[in-house]
Amino acid sequence: MRARLGILLSGRGSNFEAIARNVLNGKLPCEIALVFSNKPEAAGLQLARDLGLPHAAIKSAGVERTAFDAQVAALLKEHRVDWVCLAGYMRLLSSTFVSQFAGRILNIHPSLLPAFPGLDAQYQALTHGAKLTGCTVHFVDENLDNGPILLQAAVPVLDNDTVESLSGRILIEEHKIYSEAIAWVLRGDYRIEGRRVLKI
């Protein structure tokens, strides 16, 4: 039985695209069981449609978090999702949702956490004057951009960088390490000690 991924996104879904490519070319031994968005107009949903992948959307605007997350969790369970991958999903998950997929939710963040958590991480890095930033794949808990770290990649900040140019170079690394991290959790040869994710 191949593992079944649920991808949650709110926007373009470029990380979803990179993951999908690696699933389709056989580099990631799993299936994409569902692509879900809290925004029906998300470009990532159209991509799922184009790729012939199961997809769904529920508008989150105006809905109470716990109730909304319960609907999303039910959808994921219905599609027998084993692993939840956040790919630009612009919502904090309720603790009920997190506990239903305990240790099976991954996220990617465009900074070297714990530096620059939250929104606009690339802008934060640029205006802080960091000379190195990057991206982080981590397990998700109820706290924002927290949870044990699986992989990180560094990206230099250049003097002539804009938020756009820096974000673009970070994205290239995101697309690599997110699939690497998914491959790692699917192999299952890791253990968690405190906050450390170690290879077995």
| Rounded Cα–Cα distance for residues 183 and 30 (Å) | 9
Tell me the closest approach of the beta carbon of residue 146 to a second copy, in angstroms: 10
What are the residue numbers of the active site? 109
Strand order in the sheet with 132-139: 55-57, 30-37, 3-9, 83-86, 105-109, 132-139, 149-156, 196-199, 190-193
- Write out the binding residues for a second copy, residues 94-113 only, by CB under 8 A: 112-113
Tell me the closest approach of the beta carbon of residue 157 to a second copy, in angstroms: 9
Instruction: Establish if 130 lies at the interface with a second copy (CB under 8 A).
Output: yes
Verify cis geometry, omega within 30 degrees of 0, for the bond prior to 114: yes
Which two tokens mark 142? 């109820």
Instruction: Establish if 199 lies at the interface with a second copy (CB under 8 A).
Output: yes
Tell me the closest approach of the beta carbon of residue 195 to a second copy, in angstroms: 4
DSSP letter (8 states) at residue 142: S
Instruction: Establish if 143 lies at the interface with a second copy (CB under 8 A).
Output: no
| Rounded Cα–Cα distance for residues 100 and 93 (Å) | 11
Instruction: Establish if 152 lies at the interface with a second copy (CB under 8 A).
Output: yes
By CB under 8 A, the count of residues binding a second copy is 28
Which two tokens mark 144? 């924002």
Instruction: Establish if 115 lies at the interface with a second copy (CB under 8 A).
Output: yes
> Within a 13 Å sphere around the CA of 165, how many CA atoms are in the beta-carbon half?
8
| Rounded Cα–Cα distance for residues 29 and 75 (Å) | 22
Instruction: Establish if 163 lies at the interface with a second copy (CB under 8 A).
Output: no
Instruction: Establish if 159 lies at the interface with a second copy (CB under 8 A).
Output: yes
* 42 or 149: CB nearest a second copy: 149
| Rounded Cα–Cα distance for residues 176 and 34 (Å) | 21
Instruction: Establish if 197 lies at the interface with a second copy (CB under 8 A).
Output: yes
Tell me the closest approach of the beta carbon of residue 113 to a second copy, in angstroms: 8
Residues that bind a second copy (CB under 8 A): 112-116, 126-132, 134, 136, 148-154, 159, 194-199
